[in-house]
């Protein structure tokens, strides 16, 4: 059985269209299990959107009491989720930063993994710039090391 993507959405909350067999199931669920998971997801989606089922899906109206019972709790949850406290001003937080050391560390990591990055750059053109910069910095580092000897 092929896993079918979920095919619903709303303007407020959109349920992922992941196929169940691609989200950690060892084997594809049965058609009955897939249908049950879809119904649960629809119910949770409507609860998250604070709407009841209506004429479009009358077979789902049996879930409306659950939605009504939990609507207030969902509102509180969404309010808590959306009310992020202000961050303290950044000057109050001491941050130790050494950009030169950080860049040297990044360069070291890139040099260590350069063969892998070069291999991946064949399929991912954006990585070509990383390879080029790493190679240029390595040459500069070698020249500098020769100069100070």
* 105-138: pLDDT as tens digits: 999 999 999 999 999 999 988 899 999 999 999 9
**How far apart are alpha carbons 31 and 2 in whole angstroms?**
10
φ, ψ of residue 14 to 5 degrees: the values are -115, 125
- At 17 the pLDDT is 47
Say how far apart CA 135 and CA 141 lie, in whole Å.
10
- Single pTM value for the model: 0.44
* Dist CA 40 CA 19 (whole Å): 15
Amino acid 11: pLDDT: 41
pLDDT for residue 130: 92
Q: pLDDT at position 96, please?
A: 77
Output the pLDDT for position 72: 94
pLDDT at 99: 87
pLDDT at 93: 65
pLDDT along the chain (149 residues), means of 10: 40 49 70 90 93 90 93 91 74 75 91 93 90 93 87
Report the alpha-carbon distance of residue 131 to residue 17 in Å, rounded. 36
């Amino acid at each position: 059985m092929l896993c079918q993507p979920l095919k619903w959405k709303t303007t407020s909350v959109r349920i992922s269209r992941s196929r169940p067999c691609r989200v950690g199931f060892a084997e594809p669920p049965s058609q009955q299990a897939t249908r049950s998971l879809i119904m649960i997801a629809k119910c949770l989606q409507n609860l998250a959107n604070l709407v009841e089922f209506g004429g479009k899906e009358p077979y789902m109206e049996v879930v409306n009491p659950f939605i009504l019972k939990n609507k207030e709790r969902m509102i509180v949850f969404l309010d808590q989720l959306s009310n992020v406290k202000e961050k303290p001003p950044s000057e109050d937080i001491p941050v130790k930063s050494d950009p030169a050391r950080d860049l040297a560390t990044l360069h070291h990591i890139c040099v260590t993994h350069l063969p892998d990055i070069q291999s991946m750059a064949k399929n991912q053109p954006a990585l070509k710039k990383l390879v080029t910069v790493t190679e240029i910095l390595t040459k500069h580092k070698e020249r500098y090391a020769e100069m100070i000897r």
